């Protein structure tokens, strides 16, 4: 099992290196773009995000911004309305408490209203440099892609727990990019995702995955990959990075990861399922070795320490170029602890994410 895990990690590292770095080089874009944000109780954050989008170095006549307010109980709608004179449109959901996937509904309604050829989704608590949108759109035009996934990085951490999450999240972003590099797309992040509007309709939108609270990004990626895997790309450019925040508490972190893990029951690509199961079983075996480590069994001690050491080395080889890309090499000092903690939470989340309900922005969903 250890050997399988190492081979998988090194295979994914190779996928990251298969993707060429992209430099926009002031390419003049011509594609009309609709930037969509689904927001719920984001009054404290969304103004900053909208400022970042409005200030993009991107032709104003090619840019449309639509925010969908998902039954917010704070001043989210009022904040968005204040941007009406800057071209920001506001839609408001009025479905009440009768759905499980409000975000997919919000995106669907926004796309129905959108006029852009290219749909770009982000979140209401994100930040981006002025070249972000131009870089993503230039890459879309250059590669003739149907879907473009771009990097998301945590930033502005205020405590060690958040920095630990930043390192772990870089690992996840790297896995998504590597899958695309290996021509086997597995994951992406809706905070920085672009796809052709006509492809959304051709694939039937979120039909078939609309009963799950999560998955507006990853499960839709899988739908597109079933027919157009080669037209899914990853924009490997620092200018394309979107920055967001790590979770401030362990409870909010676990809730987020349970939501993400809940998507795994809907995977139709069995290769992705078996990849996830293999990684989960390896971590179960590692934790079993940790438990036995406290029993006086010298042979098990040596086996456990060898497995943990090889795991850390393999993950270092994979994640170091991700840290270099994000300009966060100092985070690598946290890898030994993260490697062990990662095994513990993966085993737990693999079970908890697929049973029961969890809290998401004040709602109980599954």
Give yes or no for a contact between 298 and 304, defined as CB atoms under 8 angstroms apart: no
Give yes or no for a contact between 364 and 99, defined as CB atoms under 8 angstroms apart: no
Give yes or no for a contact between 307 and 2, defined as CB atoms under 8 angstroms apart: yes
Residue 6 to residue 318: CA distance in whole angstroms: 10
The mean pLDDT of the chain is 87
Domains and CATH numbers, the chain: 19-249 (3.90.550.10)
Residue ranges of E strands in the chain: 33-39, 63-69, 88-92, 118-122, 127-128, 147-149, 152-154, 193-196, 232-234, 242-244, 358-360, 363-365
SS3 105: helix
Which H or E element spans position 270?
Answer: helix 270-293
Q: Which residues contact 267 (CB under 8 A, 6 or more apart)?
A: 219, 222, 273, 276
Terminal alpha carbon distance of the chain = 31
Tokens of 289: 């070795």
Q: For residue 320, what pLDDT is reported?
A: 96
- Select from 87, 32, 80, 38 the least CA-distant residue to 58: 32
CA dihedral 210, 216, 219, 221 (to 10 degrees): 130
Tens digits of residue pLDDT in 292-342: 666 665 555 677 778 788 889 999 999 999 999 999 999 999 999 998 888
- Select from 340, 304, 334 the least CA-distant residue to 320: 334
How crowded is residue 144: how many other Cβ atoms within 10 Å of its Cβ? 8
| pLDDT greater than 60 at residue 243 | yes
Tens digits of residue pLDDT in 195-238: 999 999 999 999 988 777 677 899 999 999 999 999 999 999 99
Tens digits of residue pLDDT in 185-197: 999 999 999 999 9
- Angle at the Cα of 260 from the Cα atoms of 347 and 278, rounded to 5 degrees: 40
More confident residue, 290 or 242: 242
Residue 54 to residue 77: CA distance in whole angstroms: 17
| pLDDT greater than 70 at residue 62 | yes
Q: For residue 359, what pLDDT is reported?
A: 62
Query: What DSSP state is assigned to residue 29?
Result: P
Give yes or no for a contact between 64 and 50, defined as CB atoms under 8 angstroms apart: no
Residue 134 to residue 119: CA distance in whole angstroms: 13
> How far are the Cα atoms of 95, 121, 181, 227 from residue 196, in angstroms, in the given order?
27, 11, 20, 14
Residue 228 to residue 34: CA distance in whole angstroms: 22
Tens digits of residue pLDDT in 74-101: 999 999 999 999 999 999 998 766 666 7
Residue 164 to residue 135: CA distance in whole angstroms: 29
Q: For residue 350, what pLDDT is reported?
A: 74
Q: Which residues contact 308 (CB under 8 A, 6 or more apart)?
A: 286, 289, 339, 340
Q: For residue 150, what pLDDT is reported?
A: 98
Output phi, psi for 358, to 5 deg. Answer: -140, 165
């Amino acid at each position: 099992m250890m050997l399988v895990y190492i081979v998988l990690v090194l295979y994914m590292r190779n996928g990251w290196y298969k993707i060429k770095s992209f430099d926009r080089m002031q390419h003049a874009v011509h594609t009309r773009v609709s930037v969509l944000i689904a927001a719920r109780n984001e009054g404290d954050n969304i103004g900053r995000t909208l400022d970042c989008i409005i200030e993009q170095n991107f032709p104003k006549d090619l840019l449309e911004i639509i925010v969908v307010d998902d039954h917010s109980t704070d001043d989210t709608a009022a904040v968005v309305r204040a941007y009406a004179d800057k071209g920001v449109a506001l839609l408001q959901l009025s479905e009440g408490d009768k759905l499980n996937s409000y975000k997919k509904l919000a995106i669907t309604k926004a796309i129905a209203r959108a006029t852009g050829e290219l749909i770009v989704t982000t979140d209401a608590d994100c930040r981006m440099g002025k070249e972000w949108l131009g870089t993503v759109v230039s890459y879309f035009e250059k590669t003739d892609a149907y879907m473009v996934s771009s990097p998301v990085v945590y930033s502005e951490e205020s405590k060690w727990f958040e920095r630990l999450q930043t390192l772990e999240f870089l690992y996840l972003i790297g896995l998504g990019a590597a899958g695309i590099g290996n021509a086997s797309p597995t994951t992406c992040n809706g905070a920085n995702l672009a796809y052709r509007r006509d492809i959304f309709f051709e694939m039937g939108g979120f039909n078939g995955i609309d009963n799950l609270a999560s998955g507006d990004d990853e499960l839709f990626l899988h739908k597109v990959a079933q027919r157009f895997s080669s037209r899914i790309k990853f924009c490997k450019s620092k200018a394309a990075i979107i920055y967001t925040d790590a979770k401030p508490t362990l409870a909010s972190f676990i809730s987020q990861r349970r939501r993400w893990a809940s998507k795994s029951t809907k995977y139709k690509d069995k290769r992705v399922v078996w990849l996830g199961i293999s990684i989960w079983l390896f971590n179960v075996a590692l934790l079993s070795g940790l438990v036995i480590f406290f029993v006086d069994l010298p042979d098990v001690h040596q086996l456990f320490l060898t497995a943990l050491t090889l795991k850390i080395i393999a993950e270092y080889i994979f994640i170091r170029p991700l840290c270099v890309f994000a300009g966060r090499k100092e985070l690598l000092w946290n890898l030994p602890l993260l490697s062990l903690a990662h095994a513990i939470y993966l085993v737990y989340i693999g079970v908890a994410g697929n049973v029961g309900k969890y809290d998401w922005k004040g709602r109980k969903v599954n």
